[in-house]
Amino acid sequence: MTRVGITGGAGYIGSRATVYFQEKGFDVRVLDLRPPKVPVEWVKGDVRDPDALARFCQSLDYLVDLAAVSSVPECAENPEHCVSVNAWRGPLFAALARHSPSLAGYLFPSTCAPLFAGYPSATEIRENTPPKPKTAYALSKLLGEQAVALLGRIWDIPVTVVRQSNVYGPSPSWPPASVVAAFFESAIRRGEIAVHGNGKQTRSFLYIDDLLEAYADFLHHRFDPGGPYHLVGFTHPVREAASRVAEAVARGCGISVKVRYTRRVLPESEDLVYREGCLSEKGWIAKVDLEEGIRKTFCWLQQTGRVTR
């Protein structure tokens, strides 16, 4: 059976990826400091810990490297820790070379929107657009992309980098630190949603199972190592996401949900236009639009008892 290692496997994407790959017939092993939310082989440890990595990296066929500090405020408060977790992978590659010499592929999921926050509104972003990060988090992920590409060449490990942003949808590790999840939690618990600014700023929203389908394409060698490849979802104004979440919760819970707009505008509120990249030419495109994705997410929240009203 093909064995897939997932660092950060107890996190939002990692937990859903664990279930997804298990359902596809893969043997999954997780590395995380926190216990996983689902039954799976678990190695407790940090992605920088050589002893934990030696146990985790035994006889892996593929690695999906999701370990990261994903909180922008946390990275701003402690940038040194952020860079050490998000960017440096020397001990991991050394462990892979020693304990998984037949590793067929290494996937490094990076971020999209924060890397291009330095561009003016309405800029078209393509895979060859030079990044212009404005935050410690974005810089750490850019350094991570460069580090794994270099380490892959040094250790002769096939590395693939993908960039994703605004991933939403069901996961055993709920709620994530994402805009759609925040809207759901606020609507369910307080009957209102706060949107920063006027809500007209656009985002690319990617449903989590579309994302994992791209990960599966990587495992099945449907695209070549390299990148960074952009995983582009459906672009909508943030206010549309808020209104759709409000409608779903109001209809499902029988309550009134108010959407209000604040004067606070986040530093990454520019409207960027993401163009489909190389993966669309190889058959991967996002399939679940925002309306369907929000409906699926709310149904899952109801089915799992996370809607208390």
Judge contact between 67 and 13, C-beta under 8 A.
no
Q: What is the pLDDT of residue 279?
A: 81
d(CA 151, CA 147): 6
pTM of the entire structure?
0.94
At 133, the amino acid letter reads P
d(CA 274, CA 280): 13
Who's near 23: CB < 8 A, 6+ residues apart?
A: none
Who's near 193: CB < 8 A, 6+ residues apart?
A: 183, 186, 187, 242, 245, 246, 257, 258, 259, 260
CATH class given for the domain over 3-303: alpha beta
d(CA 242, CA 230): 25
d(CA 106, CA 96): 10
d(CA 220, CA 190): 44
Which one-letter DSSP state was computed for residue 24?
T
Give me the residue label for tokens 């700023």.
201
d(CA 227, CA 244): 33
Who's near 55: CB < 8 A, 6+ residues apart?
A: 43, 45
Q: What is the pLDDT of residue 90?
A: 96
Which one-letter DSSP state was computed for residue 260?
E
Domain ranges of the chain: 3-303
Judge contact between 203 and 166, C-beta under 8 A.
yes
Q: What is the pLDDT of residue 177?
A: 85
Q: What is the pLDDT of residue 132?
A: 92
Per-residue pLDDT of the chain (309 residues; tens, 9 = 90+): 999 999 999 999 999 999 999 999 999 999 999 999 999 999 999 999 999 999 999 999 999 999 999 998 999 999 999 999 999 999 999 999 999 999 999 999 999 878 888 888 878 888 889 999 999 999 999 999 999 999 999 999 999 999 998 999 999 999 998 999 999 999 999 999 999 888 988 889 999 999 999 999 999 888 889 999 999 899 999 999 999 999 999 999 999 999 999 876 555 445 777 777 778 777 889 999 999 999 999 999 999 999 876
d(CA 122, CA 270): 8
Residue 256: CB atoms within 10 A of its CB come to 10
- From residue 19, alpha-carbon distances to 29, 67, 148, 187, 300 in Å are 11, 17, 26, 27, 15
Q: What is the pLDDT of residue 222?
A: 85
Q: What are the tokens at 145?
A: 């992309």
d(CA 97, CA 76): 33
Q: Hey, is 90 helix, strand or coil?
A: helix
The number of angstroms, rounded, from the C-alpha of 122 to the middle of its chain's C-alpha atoms is: 24
Q: What is the pLDDT of residue 140?
A: 96
Q: What is the pLDDT of residue 309?
A: 63
Exposure pattern of 103-127 as b/e (b: 16+ CB <10 Å)? bebbbbbbbbbbbbbebeeebebeb
